[in-house]
Amino acid sequence: MSQRDNLSVIRQIWSELYPGAAGNSLLETLIQEVATAARLNQHGAQPEGWYKDAVVYSLYVDFFNETFEGLIKKLPELRDLGITCLWLLPILDSPMRDAGFDIRDYRNIRAELLGLPESTSAEEKQKAFRDFLEEAHKNGLRVIFDIAMNHTSEEHPWFVEARKGPGNPYRDYYIWTQDTTLYQEARIIFKGLCPSNWQQDGEWHFFHRFFEFQPDLNYRNPQVLLEIIRILLFWLNQGLDGFRADAIPYIWKDAGTDCENRPGAHNIIKIFRAVLDHVRPNTLLLAEACQPPVEVVKYFGEGDECHAGYHFPLMPMIFKSLAIQDAAPVLDVLHPSVTPAILPDNQWFMFLRLHDELTLEMVTPEDREIIHGHYCKKPEWDFRVGEGISARLAELLDRDPAKIGLAYSIMFTLPGTPIVYYGDEFAKLNNEDFYESFRKETGKDDTRYYVRGPLDWNRIAGELADPGSLTSAVNAILRNQIAVRAKHKAFSRGSNTWIEAGITGSIADEKPVLAYERVFGNEHVLVINNLSGKEVEINSLNGTGFSGTDLLTNRKIQRPVSLKPFEYLWLSAD
């Protein structure tokens, strides 16, 4: 899309959202600021589709290695692991009541993450962050981070002003009412943690979809959209490579609806995308939309909204398949009737674990019962009254390297961009002490804090030196899988065809094998995953013979092949 077209898109959609003189005045301001940002931006366009070939590493700077300086020291190790993109979990100034998703200042990085005193000027902090970006780029790592677009902290200056009264010019940056029946169809996201979406403040109430200290922004006020775009422009100028658009399904509210996935939200995302395309093409806009795939794909638009989005329902279905030792849940969730086809430029982002719980929000009650019953091995792991499980990957999979390797085999080879959550490459376990300290400090029983907390690098080094440790075993598995994946674009860009495995023996009538072929150009890779705790003998694939070389071990494979419990093969045809 040409730059002129991008500005035309902005004009057209803005005029639809905000007809009238006030909107027109702000539109001209926006067009001028976007054009100026494009003229002054010195970072240049990024390679088209770079996010398709990425392996993403998600981390909290302070929990990973205390400060950005500590992170810089570990950049070569992350590069050697095979990571190509860092996703920085919230780094902006915040009271930290929701892990930094409650933003107090969108242009200010928390001073402690930079190892600087609170009195440090904003420009000094920005210079330190630019230095980090430069080092990351030198190591071949792109960097994206979270922008919470739906809400702010109650300590944000806009809200501090807004709560002074109805006459304050910032009042309309948020949603206020004295009639709390408004938006009553909107579900409570933090079930069990918040009793309502309305929080009383004097004689008024303000609207929030998350915690009561995170008031929702009012995008019906065009000034709010202009301010958020200015924030995007600011970070583009610093050299950031992409944005994780947090909680975008909720940013537009319509009375009488559930206030999710509204047309207004899509129009706002189209404006964001046009701004990014105009100023620095191929800057990643990643949709954080915990919705069914049929809704998430709508945030790709016609190639004019987000470049990529998380496939939230796939994660629990991987865990269900592992629990019942049957491929059907994964096959079903990736069936076109559930996961529609996407345009070539778009991409799913895949994960086994993120910074939150193993969410069961997008599964049926029957599936929730199966998954929660199998994996919530301690009562304290429960989150949102059965709608999630707060546990690290190694805990969920019984601290078993074979099961962990199998889960990663599935994630690294199915279509999509994989995400590794910090510490999972070392089989990090739940941190009970960290959770308990957070609970006492905040008074919130947020069990997601079991899956956070700092890495102990001295302990990790000792365990990596011991080939018999869980840490060493899992780290070796991941390094090998990521290295092999990087050599074959069939995994990041190839087509996917399901393969039916012919099984002999006592489990011939079961479906414990998840098999598929990834094809890109002349590359053909056949992936076979044994989901069973039993040995499986496979004598045919789609009714025919097979042979090849296992890319992970360089072992020659011919029919029939016996797979050990939880074993997997990545076969390249000889």
CATH number at residue 553: 2.60.40.1180
- pLDDT value of residue 573: 76
How far is Cα 210 from Cα 191, in angstroms, rounded to an integer? Answer: 10
Mark whether 444 and 470 lie in a shared domain: yes
At which residue do the structure tokens 């094809």 appear?
A: 519
Query: Are 460 and 533 found together in one domain?
Result: no
The CATH number covering residue 439 comes to 3.20.20.80
* 471 and 563 part of one domain: no
Measured in degrees and rounded to the nearest 5, phi and psi for residue 561 equal -130, 140
Q: Are residues 328 and 461 in the same domain?
A: yes
Among the listed residues 62, 98, 246, 463, the single catalytic one is 246
Domain presence at residue 348? yes
Q: Alpha-carbon distance 118 to 127, whole Å?
A: 15
Give me the residue label for tokens 């583009």: 236
Examine residue 541 and state whether it is found in any structural domain, yes or no.
yes
376 part of a folded domain = yes
Q: With respect to residue 166, please indicate whether it lies within any of the assigned structural domains.
A: no
Sort strands 176-177 and 204-207 into parallel, antiparallel or unpaired.
antiparallel
410 plus 508 within the same structural domain: no
DSSP count for the chain of H helices, then E strands: 18, 25
In a domain, 426, yes or no: yes
Cα–Cα distance measured from residue 383 to residue 376, given in angstroms and rounded to the nearest whole number: 10
As given in the structure block, the two tokens for residue 28 are: 């001209």
| Distance from C-alpha of 335 to C-alpha of 72, rounded to nearest angstrom | 42
Pair 354, 444 in one domain:
yes
pLDDT recorded at residue 508:
54
Side-chain-side CA neighbours of 82 within 13 Å: the count stands at 20
Q: Which of 288, 326, 357, 367 is catalytic?
A: 288
Structural domain total, the chain: 2
Which residues are within 8 A (CB) of 569 and not within 5 positions of it... i.e. 6 or more apart? 526, 527, 528, 550, 552, 557, 561, 563
Whether residues 512 and 466 fall in one domain: no
Distance CA 436, CA 455 (A): 17
Residue found under tokens 């919470």? 148
Q: How many CB atoms lie within 10 A of CB 424?
A: 23
pLDDT at 505: 67
- CA–CA distance, 192 with 129 (Å, rounded to integer): 38
DSSP 216: B
* d(C-alpha 458, C-alpha 1), whole Å: 50
**Which of 486, 516, 545 is at the close of a domain?**
486
475 and 563 both lie in a single domain: no
What's phi and psi for 81, nearest 5 deg? -65, -25
CA dihedral 98, 102, 106, 111 (to 10 degrees): -40
Residue 301 structure tokens: 């638009």
pLDDT of residue 444: 75
**For this structure, is 246 an active site residue?**
yes
Q: 133: part of which helix (H) or strand (E)?
A: helix 122-138
Q: Active site includes 523?
A: no
Instruction: Establish if 302 belongs to a structural domain.
Output: no
Please give the helix or strand (H or E) that residue 246 lies within, else none: strand 242-246
Tokens at 435, concatenated:
């959770």
Quick one: 500 and 405 in the same domain?
no
- Same structural domain, 499 and 426: no
* 486, 510, 536 - which closes a domain: 486
Question: In this structure, are 481 and 502 located in the same domain?
Answer: no
The domain containing residue 393 runs over which residues?
Answer: 312-486
- Which of 468, 486, 504 is where one domain is finished? 486
Both tokens assigned to 193: 């943690």
User: Do 369 and 443 fall within a single domain?
Assistant: yes
Whether residue 482 lies inside any domain: the answer is yes
What's the CA gap between 225 and 219, in Å, rounded? 6
pTM of the model: 0.94
Closest residue by Cα to residue 136 from 282, 284, 239: 239
For the chain, 574 residues long, give each residue's pLDDT as a single digit of tens: 455 599 999 999 999 999 987 778 899 999 999 999 999 999 999 999 999 999 999 999 999 999 999 999 999 999 999 999 999 999 999 999 988 999 999 999 999 999 999 999 999 999 999 999 999 999 999 999 988 999 999 999 999 999 999 999 999 999 999 999 999 999 998 877 889 999 999 999 999 999 999 999 999 999 999 999 999 999 999 999 999 999 999 999 999 999 999 999 999 999 999 999 999 999 999 999 888 899 999 999 999 999 999 999 999 999 999 999 999 999 999 999 999 999 999 999 999 998 888 988 878 999 999 999 999 999 999 987 788 999 999 999 999 999 999 999 999 999 999 999 999 999 999 999 999 988 888 777 788 889 999 999 999 999 999 999 999 999 999 999 999 999 999 999 999 999 999 998 656 567 999 999 999 999 999 999 999 999 999 999 998 888 899 999 999 998 899 999 999 999 997 6
Asked, for residue 276, whether it belongs to a domain, the answer is no
Position 2 scores a pLDDT of 53
| 525-549 CB burial, b ≥16 within 10 A, e <16 | bbbbbbbbeeebbbebbeeeebebb
